[in-house]
Structure 1
Amino acid sequence: MRRFVLCLLAVIATALPAWSEPVKGSLLIAGGDFKLENPGWSRLVDLAGGKGAMILVLPTASGDPVGSGGRIVEHLRSLGANAMLLPLAEKGFDRPPAAIVSDPLWVDRARHAGGFFLVGGDQSRYTAALLRADGSDTPLLAAIRAAHAAGAVIGGSSAGAAIMSATMIKDAPETLDLLDAGPIAGRTLGPGLGFIGPDWFVDQHFLARGRFARTLVAMDAAGYTRGLGVDENTAIIIRKRQEAEVVGASGVVLLDTRTATRRPGWPFAQTGTVVSLLRDGDRLDLVSGTVTPGPTRAAAPIAPSSPGFAPDPELPSILATGDILAPWQFGRLMAQVLESRQGQATGLAFDAADPARRPAFRMLLSRRSDSQGWAGNGVTALNLSLDVEPVRMADPLFSPAQP
């Protein structure tokens, strides 16, 4: 299965643009539910050129392209941008996508735009509209890439974030099934648009929907060793594919499997993945991996390996959860592991209704000697270790207590 997926992605990669070309533009990758009051919107306008900058809004993925795209256009105009709705969608407009992606007027507008925003929905609609059948760029996508290379910003939320990497999750099964049997050939993974370059995999709604496990499986199948998991109402702004900054209410998880050990075959088993949680204002050097804390946290370091480290007295002595895939549970555990006495937490992922039907999974989060972080409005946690191993749950899982 994994060999098939890697061969498929190798074919996809031959149709993508040369990664050696320099890129002057920025990316704004939002994890979904990107609220209008989020400061990332004004940052998008600034990155596009400020007041009067032309930003094209692509509503392609949306089930209501006119309505959802129109609301974003109006919001960007309220922030001073010259925003326009690009009529590229399967419904809601007079002309089909095939006509728009070759229209000289829209191609020229894209080439000279200061920014783009890709609306959420079904990410497969973006690739269906913007890529030719052979995987090469349509004229409109080529113009977007040219504008981005010259300095334009490309923003996207939810589906608009998923397409940022060269490979994307397009239709994933339930996470337990994915951990059990791996990606479904021709369905789970597909080509993205690759704006972030070849080195990073991107997933969205990350903490809110407990997606870290599915991302690890996708990274393994597609040959990635570094991933970005962007949570809801949060964005990561990336400049020239080198410098990144987190903006928003939740966080961004970094996943690094370069030193991890993957046991071959399925169910999924992997030890030594390095995970970090970045918060609003934190900065990341994508080349060196160096993290600089946001100004609200810089004065409150957390250094578990230092002699003066004081664990959080309000945390329990043993950290554990029966559902590590629950909303926001993974992020909470990361912060707690960093500040706890033992520096370790155990989480389970299983089907409580029928525990014997498929494998369960035990996740172990642990501090490392180089783990550190900063406190503030949300904890930044760097360099924790994550192990994933399949286990068998007892069946029945429980029995009535005796009186």
Structure 2
Amino acid sequence: MRTIEREPDIAAARPGRAGLHPVLIGLGLMLVAFNLRPALSSVGPLLPGIRAETGLSGALAGALVTVPVLCLGVFGRLAPVLVRRVGPDAGVLAALLVLALGLGVRGLGGLPSLFLGSVIAAAAIGIVGVILPGIVKRDFPDRAGLMTGLYTALLCLGAAAGAGFTVPARHALGLGWEGALMLWAAPALVAAAAWLPFARGRDKPAGGAARPSGALWRDPLAWQVTAFMGLQSSLAYIVFGWLPAALVDRGLDIVAAGLVASVSALAQGVLALVVPTLAARRPDQRPWVVLVVSLPLVGFIGLLVGPLAFAWGFALLLGLGLGGCFGLALTLIVLRAGDPRAAAELSAMAQGVGYCGAALGPFLVGIAHDWSGGWGLPAALYAAVCLSAGSFGLLAARNRTVRI
């Protein structure tokens, strides 16, 4: 294999954590993980009120959901640069503070602040999302699977909290939508305070992981994994951005709509934990692709155009499916790579390109809703994304490895 330029490996360095109990480190990781989704899931329940108050069009509302998702992929590429300069632990601390800043900016009032704060918050989330898996691998080498599962579950819990508690907190405290969004800066600051002992006096990482090789970008399997990662992410962010608004349009009050979205987000944690464990036991994961893609197909379309009497059941199916899709996408990145270096390269490609592609989904749903005035066309668009995700997932789930 040709020699390629190296850049810092987030997972390779293992500075000591003298005096820090593994339980404390784990709790710190869970607090950080919890804060990686409320910034994204808290906007959807408030979107009907924001549109009514500001006159925000469907296209711009779709952009409000789309731009942060795009930032996850774009700014995640800055994580290696930050790690090289300050180390992974200080990098997480810095990103948490930036996240709190972005959440605070969203509450200053007006659409420019809302968009700017959302970009700042999403940029921080993208950076932390790239760094954290390496920290898990470094500090819990013998329990990486367990910690990854717990990390994913807390991430889903944070998404559920953002979807379910934003509107009730707004009503209880008598806040406008700006203040309700600003509230989520508080747990981010708590996480930063809890992470501070881990970031103080830590050595900078040494050693390196390779830059993505040209061979990987020419490998059809790598693009199949990337496409599945991006399409299943698009399914999730369409739900985060538009499910509460759709339910309100269909007759639910805004609190009930937020609770349905919260139940769906909370259910994601179940299969996000189960699917990776079971799918990794077999060389071929195609049956799991069929299962996890079918569930959100039925669940979301049922919520958009089905009888509202079954809304809670549809929400449960939707959440289980999205959690299974996310867990399976991460699992395929590992299983389709032949060695750790290939896994690192494939992960960077799949998440960087995948999240950028995923950003189109919420934007297109906003345009479809504006153009049609209802939710039938967005439901058809969601079905098309599901079928596309299933098609690429079936290709990516075959027992092969990428070539680098």
* TM above 0.5: no
Normalised-by-shorter TM-score class: under 0.3
Point out the structure with the larger strand share: 1
Larger Rg: 1
| TM-score, structure 1 as length reference | 0.27
| TM-score, structure 2 as length reference | 0.27
Structure with higher RCO (Cα < 8 A, 6+ apart):
2
